[in-house]
Amino acid sequence: MDTTKRLERLLDRYRNGDIERRTFLGLLGAAGATAGLVGGPMMMLTRQARAAEVESVRFDGWGGVVSEAFRKFAFDPYTAATGIEVIDGTFASSDEYLTRVKAGREGEFNVFLASGVFDYARYVDLGYDVVLNEENIPNLALVMPAMMTPYRAVTDGKLSAAPYDYGTTGLAYNTEQISREEMEEKGARILLDPAYKDKIGGFSDWRTRMWYAALQTGQDPNNIEDLEAAWDAVRQHRDLVLKYWNSGAELMSLLAEGEIWVTEGWSGRIASLQQEGHPIGYHDPPGSFAWQECLMVLKGSPLPEVEELLNYMLEPEVAIAVSEGQNYPPSLDPQKVDLGDKIPNMPAFDPTGKLENLTFAEPAYWNGNQQEWSAEFSRVQRGF
C-alpha cells in the first residue's frame, strides 16, 4: 500500500509538470519492479499517466451505421483499455473534410477514414502525412499486402495510414419495380433510362458521376478519352434524377421509402438495407467502382496513442466486429485470418485476398483531373 501511494504521488508530480514523461515512465517502471508491483496496479498507473498527457484522439468518418460500428466495437473498448477518449466527427464528402483540415490547426484532426489511395495521395501531396512506426502496429502483419502496396507506393515504402476495409459502388435497385434480368442487361446505362425518370438517384460526387459516365459510354474509367461523351452522359443523368444524395443515411432513406428505384450505391449500405428486409437488390456491373478505405493519420497527431488505436482497430476480433457492423469486408487477409460466416457473403468480398477482380481508381489520373472535373460537375448540378 505504501508503494502504491508513493507511485501515486509520482503520478501527481508528473501531472503537475514537475517531471518529464520519459523520466516519469522510467521512475515508474523502476519503482514498480523494485517493489514487485506488476499487473493491475502498474497498468492502471501507466494508463493514468498517458491519459494525463493525451486526453483524447479525434476520429472522423462517414457517420451512420459506420460510426455506430466503430463506436461500439472499437472506440469504447479502446477508451476503457487506455483511458483516452475517442472523439468522433462526421463528414459528408472527402472534399468537405479536406476543407476543414486546411482551415484547422495542426493536431486538431488526428485520424480519418480516407476514401481510397487517391485521397491518401492528396493529403500526402499537401504535406499532412506522417511516418507511422509499424513496430507499434503489429497487426499490420495480418493486412492483405494487396491493400498496403498502393499506399507504400505513394509514400516511398512508408505508411501514414492503415488499410481498413473495401467495397464497391455498384447499382442498387428496387426488386419490386426492376428485375435482376433487366438490371444485368442494361447495367450502368439503366441510370440513363427515361422510363425511370424521377425514380433515379445519384451520389453528388464528381468522381462517381464521371466513373459511371465512363461505363455508360463504354470507356475505361481510368482513361476516359471521349470527355464530351462522358459529360453528355452526366447531363442526361441529371435530367432524369429525382435527387442527388449526399450521405449514406440519405441513400438508405431514399431507397427504403421507395422515393427512388435505382441508383449507384455503396455496397455496405445496400447490404444493411437487405438485412433490414427491404426489397433492394445489388449489382456490380463490369468495371464497377471499387474502393478501399484507410485509417489515415494526420500531421501533429499524438503518434504512440494513435498507433495503439490503429493496432487495436486491426485486432481480428475488433476488425471483424466492425466489419459485420458496417457490412464492408475488412482489410484482414482471409488467407491468414478466419473471418467467420457473414463476411464471405458480403458484396465485393475477395476470398483470395489479392483483389485482382476489382477495379480501383488510379490516384495520379483522378487527382490530376480533380480541379477541372469537380468544377465542371458543379456547373452541371446547377443546370449548365
Given a contact cutoff of 8 angstroms between Cβ atoms, the answer to whether 207 and 122 are in contact is no
Per-residue pLDDT of the chain (384 residues; tens, 9 = 90+): 454 565 566 556 655 656 554 455 455 555 544 444 444 455 555 555 554 578 899 999 988 877 888 898 889 989 988 889 999 999 988 889 999 999 999 999 999 999 889 899 999 999 999 999 999 999 999 999 999 999 999 999 999 999 999 999 999 999 999 999 999 999 999 999 999 999 999 999 999 999 999 999 999 999 999 999 999 999 999 999 999 999 889 999 999 999 999 999 999 999 999 999 999 999 999 999 999 999 999 999 999 999 999 999 999 999 999 999 889 999 999 999 999 999 999 989 999 999 999 999 999 999 999 999 999 999 999 988
3-state SS, residue 143: strand
pLDDT of residue 37: 44
Q: What is the DSSP letter of 108?
A: S
Regarding whether 281 and 172 lie in a shared domain, the answer is yes
Regarding whether 212 and 191 lie in a shared domain, the answer is yes
Query: H or E element: which one contains 329?
Result: none
Regarding whether 158 and 94 lie in a shared domain, the answer is yes
Q: Pick from 167, 112, 142, 161: which is nearest to 316 by CA?
A: 142
pLDDT of residue 17: 58
Cα(69)–Cα(74) distance, rounded to whole angstroms? 8
Residues facing residue 129 across a β-bridge: none
pLDDT of residue 23: 56
Regarding whether 269 and 216 lie in a shared domain, the answer is yes
pLDDT of residue 3: 47
Q: Where are the beta strands (DSSP E) in the chain?
A: 56-61, 85-90, 111-115, 161-174, 200-203, 241-245, 262-266, 280-283, 289-297, 359-360
Instruction: Write down how long the chain is.
Output: 384
pTM: 0.80
Regarding whether 377 and 238 lie in a shared domain, the answer is yes
3-state SS, residue 66: helix
Cα(229)–Cα(251) distance, rounded to whole angstroms? 27
Cα(160)–Cα(294) distance, rounded to whole angstroms? 9
CATH number at residue 106: 3.40.190.10
Total structural domains within the chain: 3
Domain of 78? 55-165+291-360
Q: Pick from 337, 382, 195: which is nearest to 329 by CA?
A: 337
